[in-house]
Amino acid sequence: MTPNPLLDFSGLPRFDAIAPADVWPAISQLLDESRTLVGRLTGPQVPATWNDFAAPLADGIERLSRAWGVVGHLHSVNDVPGWRDAYNAMLPEVSRFYAELGQNLHLFARYKALRASAGYAALTPAQRRIADNEIRDFRLSGAELPEDRKPRFQAIQEELASLSAKFSENLLDATNAFAEFVDDEAELSGLPDDVRQAAREAAEKEGKPGWKFTLHMPSYLPAMQYADSRRLRAALYRAHATRAAEFGPVELDNTPLIRRILALRREEAQLLGYANYAEVSLVPKMAESVPQVLAFLRDLARKARLFAESDIAALREFSRSELELATLEPWDVAYASEKLLQARYAFSEQEVKQYFTEPKVLAGLFRVVETLFGVRVRPDSAPVWHDDVRFFRIETPSGELVGQFYLDLYARETKRGGAWMDDAITRRRLSRQAGGGIQTPVAYLNCNFPRPVGEKDGKPRPATFTHDDVITLFHETGHGLHHLLTRVEELGVSGIGGVEWDAVELPSQFMENYCWEWGVLQEMTAHADTGATLPRELFDKMLAAKNFQSGMQTVRQLEFSLFDLLLHSEFDPADPDAGKPGVLDLLAGVRREVAVLLPPEWHRFPNGFSHIFAGGYGAGYFSYKWAEVLSADCYAAFEEAGDPFDPATGKRFLDQILAVGGVRPALDSFRAFRGREPQVDALLRHNGMILEPVA
């Protein structure tokens, strides 16, 4: 009998051999083994020490988490019926196991005994941090609940896991279900050549004439930004705004899922003795309380509102006077903004895009990583899940392996939207039984960029990325570096493990700053047709436009953050038929408070807000802005040093932020790097929102 490839932990995942049929037998076996291990380690003969209890438990459970991580990854990047069915069939079983684990009083007692023992002081800082985190997490998992309430808590965890998966699947299916076919070439006016060609190839693939536009970002965004056809923009906007809502197939409507998720989260919080889910969410985060976060968001909104109102007033005036649009509709905003950008700064995003060719962008990204952190990035080989995927290794200057990562850049219909990093293997020191030595980390970096289209001189033209795409790639690479450059040797706090959720965006947002450095862009651009580097004159225009509409963009993010936090703190998710305000009512109230641009009544933003309903950001979306304060302040240290690649500052960022993982509180790591408390000034300055004092 052929061994199950999901049970092979000797190296990298065997994506060339793993099939949906492998999931049930492999995960079932690992669940059985894990339960047996837990039973043995909680027996009276096993002392509550690190080496006898905590380390073997982490080693044993890692096999399950690695295998299930592969299954979850394939569900995200190859969401075909076979993988969807295999994932969903095992999801309740895996959820049940982790819920049982979190409520196991014997395990909980062992960790408490470990912390109370004389040996606790002799543990490493990483080991002590893990023990402390475990005790905290047992409490959040319902370990201290009365026995008659534990089954209900477990049932909530299982249902929430299934609902989150269904939310994501509905959104992907609703996105894939829509297509706008254009037969009249006049409707393509304004669209760049590569966008037209991609739309033509998409129609040809289905054997249809004309051009096909979809809701996938490489098709949707440029159409909204460049299409002169107001009809086309309006059709795409409405389809995107109403995805997975009551206007489409009932089986893809996320509305009932939202209500159920919110109700279950509130019930979970109340079982644990908290007033609401937001309070639960904040326990393992840097932020201390819901009022503190609300005050932070509203203070930032007050500072940004003046700039946002100025942005929207300028856009409306330009639309009236230059575009002859009597009313600026939501489907006009991206289009009018691009026209205003061109008029004000004499360049277009499309012009810039031709310089960011994939080979040069990757080479430039890797050069930044190498220069900042003293490593080398090299191509590597491994089995992959799609021909699009590439694989790389990070080495020390002497050639020692530090970590590896998969890079999956292009959008596909079977791949969930957005961009994200996930861990495949986490760095740790292996036990003697496992051969000793260091297990090197491996990461997945996933984006949804347009793939190459067309030819030049008989060869395929390289993919070209917008500057926003490049920023996204640097962002996800920052997450990857946090995982890959750790020096921690204990699983629970290695890489991004144990890092507070509202600090995990620090390295990712920090890396975005390098997309605005002239020395970096010189080396990472080559025009798709001429090979010329980005002209300094064009870069200066980009820099001048860097904070174009930053006020509007800031209040939009604050709108999402406030909506999320209020939804999980003050909102009552009881049946709306009981006369209570609904989710959309809450969102409307938030918009009245902070927004400067209101969407149509039929807009169903919550139905596509996968970050909070399917992505782990529930009551935590504020983390982007919270961590942006930290990341901007960290980058300011390089500005103060006078060099974005200052070696001493780069080494300090590596040593005090990236390398330490979750060994200590993130605020302590920030203080160790910066030598003081964080300040919001750098963020406001980087976003052009510090007003000059009046003389």
Which CATH number applies to 252-347+549-621: 3.30.2350.10, 3.40.630.40, 3.40.47.10, 1.10.1370.10? 1.10.1370.10
- Of 682, 542, 560, 536, which Cα lies nearest the Cα of 618? 560
Q: Where residue 692 falls among pLDDT bands split at 50, 70, 90?
A: very low
Q: What sign does the CA torsion over 508, 510, 516, 520 have?
A: negative
Tell me, what's the pLDDT at 458? 79
The CATH 1.10.1370.10 domain(s) of the chain lie at 252-347+549-621
CA separation for the pair 532, 530 (Å, rounded): 5
The pLDDT assigned to 679 comes to 92
Identity of residue 596: V
What is the mean predicted confidence (pLDDT) over 112-136? 97
CA distance 53 to 37: 10
Yes or no: say if 442 and 403 are a contact pair by the CB < 8 Å rule. Answer: yes
pLDDT tens-digit profile of 11-64? 999 999 999 999 999 999 999 999 999 999 999 999 999 999 999 999 999 999
Q: Does residue 693 surpass a pLDDT of 50?
A: no
Name which of 153, 53, 16 is nearest 98 in CA terms.
153
Residue 118 — very low, low, confident or very high, per pLDDT cuts 50/70/90? very high
Residue type, 249: P
Mean pLDDT of 514-526: 97
Task: Residues 355-499: name the CATH superfamily.
Answer: Collagenase (Catalytic Domain) (3.40.390.10)
Rounded CA gap, 409 and 445, in Å? Answer: 8
Please pick, among 134, 358, 476, 505, the residue that the annotation labels catalytic: 476
First to last CA, the chain: 83
Residue range 198-231, pLDDT digits in tens: 999 999 999 999 999 999 999 999 999 999 999 9
Domain with CATH 1.20.1050.40 in the chain: 13-144
User: Taking the C-alpha atoms of 276, 278, 281 and 287 in order, what is their torsion angle to the nearest 10 degrees?
Assistant: -130
Please determine, for residue 144, whether its predicted confidence score (pLDDT) is greater than 70.
yes
Whole-number average pLDDT of the chain: 95
Strand, helix or coil for residue 557: helix
Mean pLDDT score, 552-563: 97
pLDDT of 654 higher than 50: yes
Burial class (CB in 10 A: 0-12, 13-18, 19+), 617: buried
Superfamily of domain 13-144: Endopeptidase. Chain P; domain 1 (1.20.1050.40)
pLDDT of residue 578: 63
Across residues 673-695, what is the average pLDDT? 79
585-588 long-range contacts, CB within 8 A, separation 24+: 587/563
The pLDDT-based confidence of 694 (bands split at 50, 70, 90) is very low
**Predicted structure pTM score:** 0.95
Q: How many CB atoms are closer than 10 A to CB 691?
A: 10
pLDDT of 689 reads: 83
pLDDT surpassing 70 at residue 311: yes
In the predicted model, is pLDDT for residue 457 greater than 90?
no
Residues of the chain with CATH 3.40.390.10: 355-499
Answer yes or no: are the C-beta atoms of 99 and 157 closer than 8 Å: yes
Q: Looking at the predicted structure, is the pLDDT value of residue 295 above 60?
A: yes
The percent helix, strand, coil of the chain (3-state, each to 5) is: 60, 5, 35
Q: What is the pLDDT of residue 460?
A: 85
What are the backbone dihedrals phi and psi of residue 676, each rounded to the nearest 5 degrees, phi first?
-165, 180
Percent of the chain at pLDDT exceeding 70: 98
Closest to 158 in 3D by CA, of 107, 88, 85: 88
Indicate the pLDDT class of residue 581, thresholds 50, 70 and 90: confident
Asked if 309 is an active-site residue, the reply is no
Residue 634 CA: distances (Å) to CA of 468, 558, 576, 646, 649: 21, 22, 45, 13, 10
* Residue 109, pLDDT above cutoff 50: yes
| C-alpha–C-alpha distance, residues 466 and 338, integer Å | 13
Averaged over 275-284, what is the pLDDT? 97
Res. 331 pLDDT band, cuts 50 70 90: very high
